[in-house]
Structure 1
Amino acid sequence: MGSKYHEKVSNIKAKLSLILADIVTANELALEAFKTLDFTKFKEAETILSKIGLKADEVDNEIIKAFALFGPEANELRFLVAFLKMTNELVGIGDNIKKYARRMNEHMQSQCDLEEFKSSIVLLHKSSLNALKFILECFGDLHACSYEDSYRKVLVEESINDDLFAVLEKELLSKVIEEKELSVDYVKVLGTLRKLERSCDRSVNIANLMMYAEQGGEIKLFK
């Protein structure tokens, strides 16, 4: 395959990496906002992710052009297919983080007392963030990256994330029973935290797509 094709693919990789970097930055801002009660950082996180759909569409169009212009061979085709599906996962993660930032901003200024859950929420958020960072690290040098190692690391974070969410779910539902006047508010908090849990699932999907791109086989994604 010629230099123009490789230049096109490098451009696609770079744009995907920038989208990933934006998501990580927004995620870090949302975590910092929760930890420090600096609500302006929630707004910053939302702003960073406000055009993620448009950026993903731009990448998708570049991938479609690569299909049309170059007729890639089997191994190259896998990478393009993986990149095309990754944009959907990245938009999903970005939307989850935007909603998390907006809703958590509201929860923390409501009558809900989240102090007793703070340490667990921070750990939940960190596991979701770590999974994304492992993927971004791999995207920094796809040739040197160990796809299997990256996939295992993301799976570990997803497992931690699931366990933490299960604990928080139990604790928040107990709060719903104890404080009936705020039951709806605590149920909404649980729904907001699920955005972090779902983001981690999508990170596993991206790690799986990277494995598929390198090794082939079947694409298996969380639904």
Structure 2
Amino acid sequence: MKEKFHEYLENIKKDLIFLSNQVEHNIHQSIKAFVTNDEKLAKKIIDDDKKIDRTEVEIEDKFLGLLAMQQPVAVDLRFTVGGLKMNNDLERIGDHAVTIARTVINIDAGKILETKDDIPALGEMACKMLHLAVNAFIHQDAELGRQVCKMDNEVDDFYDGFVKRTIEVCKKDRDKLDNGFHYVRIARSLERIADHSTNISEDVIFMKEAKIIRHHFQE
């Protein structure tokens, strides 16, 4: 019975890794759509999110079935609870990729702001956090999880600076105000992706060490 339980748990873990790959791909594509102003690609990202939503529901059903039928305890229970939370965070990250894609469609390609290049830079930071957070989950590496948590402050600082710079640009050129709003919206989604990656990392620490560090992570 125990071996069958762990086999089932391992299969769910593979499902989570598959979902994380889908989500990470969509983030990269949404940033590409922004950089190239590719409306067709943006619409594809929006459509592809339906697959992510379906996968998230399927994984949640498997976890809930596991809780009901097997009643895991100790490490297995922590993994199950942490996995459920990670599943939700991944779905939310996918939603932010959709938000970016929808915003891209509304951008006026003829009114580019000087801060445009900051968005792919912020996107790279957010994607790196997600990638490392997923690796921390795969290898159950609490120390790597802590490293990801520390990276969130850097993303927050970059985001705050970006917003200030974008506001200054819009003050000088009111014609770019709408695009400035769209840029900030995209940057906000990337900042939230970093937050969700931090959540995943905190859950890895919970799985491994039974420590809840959310809201009060300390270096």
Distance 2:32 2:186 in 1: 16
Structure 1 position 133 matched with structure 2 position 131: yes
Aligned counterpart, 1:98: 98
Listed as ranges, the gaps of 5+ residues in structure 2 are none
1:96 to partner: Cα distance: 0.6
TM, length-normalised to structure 1: 0.87
1:113 to partner: Cα distance: 1.3
Letter in 1 for 2:29: L
Distance 2:211 2:171 in 1: 47
Listed as ranges, the gaps of 5+ residues in structure 1 are none
Distance 2:84 2:31 in 1: 29
Structure 1 position 112 matched with structure 2 position 107: no
Aligned counterpart, 2:159: 165
Aligned counterpart, 2:49: 49
Aligned counterpart, 1:13: 13
Contact map agreement 2:19 2:52 (CA 8 A) in 1: yes
Distance 1:192 1:76 in 2: 37
TM, length-normalised to structure 2: 0.88
Identify which range, 180-189 or 6-15, moves more after superposition: 180-189
Q: How does 1:1-223 map to 2 (within 5 A)?
A: 2-107=2-107, 109-114=108-113, 116-139=114-137, 141-142=138-139, 145-152=140-147, 154-218=148-212, 220=214
Distance 1:158 1:71 in 2: 35
Identify which range, 184-193 or 6-15, moves more after superposition: 184-193
Distance 1:184 1:39 in 2: 17
Identify which range, 59-68 or 26-35, moves more after superposition: 26-35
RMSD over equivalenced CA pairs, Å: 2.1
* Aligned residue-pair number: 216
Contact map agreement 1:21 1:136 (CA 8 A) in 2: no
Contact map agreement 1:22 1:48 (CA 8 A) in 2: no
1:138 to partner: Cα distance: 3.4
Cα 1:47–1:170 change in 2 (3 A) is same
Distance 1:151 1:30 in 2: 27
Letter in 2 for 1:151: R
Runs of 4+ in 1 over 6 A off after TM superposition: none
Identify which range, 82-91 or 130-139, moves more after superposition: 130-139
Identify which range, 46-55 or 129-138, moves more after superposition: 46-55
Distance 1:88 1:221 in 2: 18
Contact map agreement 2:52 2:94 (CA 8 A) in 1: yes
Identify which range, 194-203 or 42-51, moves more after superposition: 42-51
1:40 to partner: Cα distance: 3.2
1:206 to partner: Cα distance: 0.6
